[in-house]
Amino acid sequence: MSESVGRFPASELQAKGGEIYCTIFENSNVGLERSLFWSLSLVFEPIGEENETSMTCEWIPWKFRHWKELDGATLTAEYGDDGIEGSFYVCEHDPMETVTLVVRHVRENLFELTMEMTVDYNGSEFSDPEPHMIVKGCAVVPFVGLYLGQEISYDDASEFVDLSAFEREPSKNQFGASYYKPKLT
């Protein structure tokens, strides 16, 4: 049996940023039809010797055609509800059990994201495992844009989103993936 190193200081987490984006994706190998999904994340300041931590809720099947419709969006879900997944990250994924989130428009493409997640925390070299650990945070984060799956063209996206809400020319993120930035006017 390993020696106890103490609990993770979840109550000390301070959100410093994050992002929101949407993607149109399909995977016929697993029977996932082409759909619009949303992903929301918060990134936290490091605590002590722990690496930077974050939490993400993704595969949310909201049907918003325009990213500004995120204003006032709420979600309360368990892992797997409508395909929704979420994780808390400290060196590895610790899956969510439940999540509650609220999104409020601040200005331009910035939103206040409030998220609370109950996670099955597996521990790290610096902290003990803790089932049902509560992680929460709030930060102003950007909506960064629209990602498209490999076989999906910009014009195909019109089935799911209002293309007038996005730039026509794609940009590249830090990993080289193409996405379409939101129009701010």
Domain contains 1: no
What residues contact residue 101 under an 8 Å CB cut-off, 6+ apart? 40, 57, 73, 74, 75, 113, 114, 115, 116
Q: What one-character DSSP code corresponds to residue 175?
A: T
Domain contains 3: no
Domain contains 75: yes
Domain contains 185: no
Number of domains in the chain: 1
Question: Parallel, antiparallel, or unpaired: how do β-strands 15-27 and 110-121 relate?
Answer: unpaired
In the block, residue with structure tokens 């368990």 = 78
Region of 2 on the Ramachandran plot (φ > 0 left; ψ -120 to 50 alpha; else beta)? beta
Domain residue limits at 67: 10-180
Domain contains 69: yes
How far the first Cα of the chain sits from its last, in Å, is 59
The per-residue pLDDT string of the chain (185 residues; one tens digit each, 9 = 90 and over) reads 456 667 888 888 999 999 999 999 988 788 788 899 999 999 999 887 667 799 999 999 999 999 999 999 999 999 999 999 999 998 788 999 999 999 999 999 999 999 999 999 988 766 788 889 999 999 999 999 999 988 889 999 999 999 999 999 999 888 878 899 999 97
